């Protein structure tokens, strides 16, 4: 199994997520936790975190969780439910595998903020290309 630093180095090439501030905090068997400090460029016209920023973080958590042990899983579909606007300074996305089949997988990603508020939930289906 790769170390956290090796995984961070590999996913540094996931430029959209990392250029927007996503950081890998923790990895486990078919799981990952990533975070993002909320910056002004993450906010929409009314001052709350834009849904695209939240989804980007959740998608990155899925990517890390499903690929850090064996790269090659891509997203087939994803569904996000926004539950609350964040009042915090940081978002945290935790991805956990619900089903890990031979060619497909299914993950649940929970996005909270640093106040502990549940911000969004995401479900993602993936396809294993190798």
pLDDT in tens, 15-26: 999 999 999 999
For domain 4-128, give the CATH superfamily.
Hotdog Thioesterase (3.10.129.10)
Residue 57 · residue 42 · CB < 8 Å = no
Residue 59 · residue 120 · CB < 8 Å = no
Backbone angles phi, psi at 26, to 5 degrees: -155, 145
How large is the average pLDDT for residues 94-101?
98
Token pair recorded at residue 67: 């690929």
Annotated domain spans of the chain: 4-128
User: Measured between alpha carbons, how far is 119 from 71 in angstroms, rounded to an integer?
Assistant: 28
pTM over the 0.75 mark = yes
> What would the pLDDT profile of 24-37 be if each residue is shown by its tens digit?
999 999 999 999 99
User: Measured between alpha carbons, how far is 7 from 12 in angstroms, rounded to an integer?
Assistant: 8
Strands (DSSP E) found in the chain: 23-28, 31-37, 73-82, 90-100, 104-113, 118-128
How large is the average pLDDT for residues 31-59?
97
Average per-residue pLDDT for the chain? 97
pLDDT(1) > 90: no
């Amino acid at each position: 199994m790769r170390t956290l630093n090796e995984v961070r180095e590999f996913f540094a090439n996931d430029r959209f997520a990392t250029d927007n501030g996503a950081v890998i905090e923790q990895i486990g068997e078919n799981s990952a936790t990533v975070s993002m400090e909320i910056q002004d460029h993450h906010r929409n016209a009314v001052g709350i975190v834009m849904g695209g920023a939240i989804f980007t973080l959740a998608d990155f958590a899925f990517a890390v969780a499903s690929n850090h042990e064996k790269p090659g899983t891509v997203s087939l579909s994803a569904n996000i439910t926004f539950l609350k606007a964040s009042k915090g300074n940081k978002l945290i996305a935790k991805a956990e595998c619900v089903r890990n089949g031979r060619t497909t997988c299914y993950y649940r990603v929970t996005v909270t903020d640093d106040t502990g508020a549940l911000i969004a939930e995401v479900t993602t289906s993936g396809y294993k290309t190798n």
